[in-house]
Amino acid sequence: MIVANKNKIKDMAENLSDSGPGRSLWKDARMRFMQNKAATLSLFVLLVIVAFSFIGSHFAVWSYERIDWNAVGSAAKVGMPSIETGHYFGTDDLGRDIYSRVIQGTQISLMVGILGATVAVVVGTLYGATSGYLGGRTDQIMMRIVDILMSIPYMFVLILLLVVFGRSIIMLFVGIGLLSWLDMSRIVRGQTLNLKNKEFIEAAQAIGVSDYKIIMRHIVPNLLGIVAVYATLLVPGIILAESFISFLGLGVQEPLTSWGALIKEGSNTIMYDTEWQLLFPLAFFVVSLFCFYFIGDGLRDALDPKGR
Amino acid sequence: MNHETMMQVENLKVHFDVSSEGDMLWTKRKKLQAVNGVSFELKSGETLGIVGESGCGKSTLARAIISMVPAETGRVLWFGKDLLALNKTEMRKHRKEIQMIFQDPLASLNPRMTIGEIIAEPLKTHYPKTSKADIKARVGDVMNKVGLLENLINRYPHEFSGGQCQRIGIARALILKPKLIICDEPVSALDVSIQAQVINLLMDLQKEMGLTLIFIAHDLSIVKHISTKIMVLYMGNIVELAKSEDIYNHPRHPYTQALISAVPIPDPKIEKNKDLILIEGDLPSPINPPSGCVFRTRCKKAQDICSQEKPELKKAASSHEVACHFND
């Protein structure tokens, strides 16, 4: 009886264990993320916005540079949103199509946000992980450098850079990328100090794995959870910074535009009953930011189930 | 099996700097003597059990041997070559000969790597040119050896039980066919039934591959089962070093006697009538250890001489060393 059962159990065990690839922590996290309705919906909305910024221009009647001479100066009367004129979102005071300009602005703003965050994440993670893992004097020096850079007012440097070197997207990237990795490196260093004392790091050291490989293979992958969360929260921060700079009139160069620049123009003419000039870019801006924040929230819950 | 001397540790000392409240930058840091002049010899094929209370320096000693913790003074001769004198790169070459198994089985495995990657890591580190098929074959081989099914290779550590995780840890230590494996309390985080499995696995592997083990534990019955030689540590000092049977049958140091008497006997009648030697008092502070014999504050036999003179580790019988003024 017992022997027969034993064989049965053995069979069962073999069947169970023959299930191919295992479930990684990433897969687990993805499942938890998908269960978060707000985050999943936000991700969907954001993807729609991104898709719109690429596909939407095919449906545009007016390009973002072309001027509708009918609407120049009389945007309040002629340039309202309508399907007949082809200005789906209306025109601005110069007769330019807001629909095309919003698409263009979305591309620029998202690009600045995502590229800026990528730079910050890559530089910040490597810097923070190196500093935290090596420890001792190296750590002290590296972190004091961060402290010094952090004490410089961020906006001030950015504005100065744009004034001195002229307004350009590249300069904007340089300025934002230069400064936004600082927070990242601090967060990552803290996490690294925490990870460093785990036994699997010690195990790797005992095996004889080099410091570089320990950082790349053992520390960074285990940091990615917190990094991913912080990155999604960093993107809206950078978009906001870019918008603020553009709002001040120092951002991207005409005829290119961004959400901030559009909002600025819209808000300047709000007293002439052309509220569409403000509301359309603002809606995109607000919805996207909300999406990023919800996704960040969802990621945090998904990647760190114990923290809730 | 030839019993050549594999490792000789001479007068190994590990001190940690301790900063206490109110210390300024220029205040001299106090020294914590974690390991205080330990010497021993290890022959190949042997199993050296290290026992002692928590905080007595067992793990620090193990880590100092493979220079994971910097030693203050002393030498660790590995086939005649002093490991502590090597620099980081030279030491890295020797790490493939000495592997380690850790206490917490799950924590010692990287949660983001698959079992296959974890077990293959030593191989990839020391022989980066090994082909993928070769790596896979050897990982499968070593997994079979420790009793893991080969098709679990793509699973992640959190999908395994504690005992299985420890087998993975053992597989990782074995893949390079090391000469010496240091086991740092490999079973204290496991269930008793799993403990027996892992211990027996280690003993089987030792026989099969001719391994030498340094086995750290605080459970004396396990150490007795696996060890050929036992070292009893107290506050970073060796108090007794002898063959396994000798320690159990004729413990000579009062501390060892008390430890042995505390091991429960699985027979209620004997257990009831056994005279238990209790050690009174607490472990003294390792920052400010007692003068002379470190054990004198809790020792029943303590006399004046114990506070004045530190007892040397002396031969009491053939291959039985004790550090006590009154060993009989």
Residue of A10, A198, A199, A209 best to disrupt the B interface, most CBs of B under 10 A = A199
pLDDT top residue among A10 and B198: B198
| Whether pLDDT at B71 is above 50 | yes
Tell me what percent of chain A is helix, strand and coil, each rounded to the nearest 5: 75, 0, 25
Q: Would you say residue B85 has pLDDT above 70? A: yes
Mutant choice from B112, B124, B127, B166 vs A, greatest count of A C-beta within 10 A: B112
Distance CA B135, CA B139 (A): 6
A-chain CB neighbours of B143 within 8 Å are none
Euclidean distance between CA atoms A295 and A229, whole angstroms: 8
Is residue A289 a contact partner of residue A263, using CB atoms and an 8 Å limit?
no
Domains, chain A, with CATH or none: 29-66+88-307 (1.10.3720.10)
Extract the tokens encoding B315: 């031969």
For β-strands B98-101 and B47-51, DSSP reports them as: unpaired
The residues, any chain, with a CB within 8 Å of residue A122's CB and separated by 6 or more, are none
Name residues 10-69 of chain A within 8 A of B (Cβ). Answer: 14, 17-18, 20-25
| Option in A17, A21, A25 nearest B149 (CB) | A17
Paired tokens of A179: 């400064």
Measured distance CA(A285)–CA(A240) in Å, rounded: 9
Pick the range with the lowest mean pLDDT from B69-78, B91-100, B275-284: B275-284
Q: What is the pLDDT of residue A307?
A: 44
Give residue-wise pLDDT tens across range B202-233: 999 999 888 999 999 878 888 888 899 999 99
| Residue A212 in contact with partner chain B when CB distance is under 8 A | no
Closest in B96, B126, B156 to A25, CB measured: B156
ipTM: 0.84
Has residue B149 got a pLDDT over 60? yes
Residue B56 has pLDDT above 70, yes or no: yes
- Burial-class residue A133 by CB neighbours within 10 Å (0-12, 13-18, 19+): buried
Please state, in angstroms and rounded to a whole number, the distance separating the CA atoms of residues B35 and B95.
Answer: 22
pLDDT value of residue A7: 66
**CB distance B158–A209 less than 8 Å?**
no
Three-state SS letters, chain B: CCCCEEEEEEEEEEEEEECCCCCCCCCCCEEEEEEEEEEEEEECCCEEEEECCCCCCHHHHHHHHCCCCCCCEEEEEECCEEHHHCCHHHHHHHCCCEEEECCCCCCCCCCCCCHHHHHHHHHHHHCCCCCHHHHHHHHHHHHHHCCCCHHHCCCCHHHCCHHHHHHHHHHHHHCCCCCEEEEECCCCCCCHHHHHHHHHHHHHHHHHHCCEEEEECCCHHHHHHHCCEEEEEECCEEEEEEEHHHHHHCCCCHHHHHHHHCCCCCCHHHHHHCCCCCCCCCCCCCCCCCCCCCCHHHCCCCCHHHHHCCCCCEEEECCEEECCCCCC
pLDDT level of residue B55 (50, 70, 90 thresholds): confident
Q: How far apart are CA B151 and CA B167, in angstroms?
A: 15
**Strand order of the sheet with strand B229-234?**
B98-101, B180-184, B212-216, B47-51, B229-234, B237-243, B320-322, B314-317
At CB < 8 A and 24+ separation, what contacts does B88-91 make?
B91/A208, B91/B67
Question: Which pLDDT does position A71 carry in this prediction?
Answer: 65
Average pLDDT, chain B: 86
CA distance linking residue B87 with residue B67, whole number of Å: 10
Percent with pLDDT over 70 in chain B = 98
- pLDDT higher than 80, residue B88: yes
Instruction: Please tell me the predicted confidence (pLDDT) of residue A33.
Output: 84
Kindly tell me if the per-residue pLDDT of B99 is higher than 70.
yes
pLDDT tens digits for range B151-194 = 888 888 888 888 899 999 999 999 999 999 999 988 888 888 88
- pTM here? 0.79
**Which pLDDT belongs to residue A5?**
61
Judged by average pLDDT, the poorest of A145-149, B54-58, B274-278 is: B274-278
pLDDT at A89: 75
CB-CB neighbours of B26 under 10 Å: 5
Interface check B152 vs A, CB under 8 A:
yes
Output the tens digit of pLDDT for each of chain A's 308 residues.
445 566 665 665 555 555 556 667 778 788 888 888 888 999 999 899 888 888 877 777 677 777 766 666 666 676 667 767 767 777 777 777 778 888 888 888 888 888 888 888 899 999 999 999 998 899 999 999 999 988 888 788 888 888 888 777 777 777 887 778 888 899 999 999 988 888 899 899 888 888 899 999 999 888 887 888 888 888 888 888 888 887 787 777 777 788 888 887 777 777 777 777 788 888 888 898 889 888 888 887 887 655 44
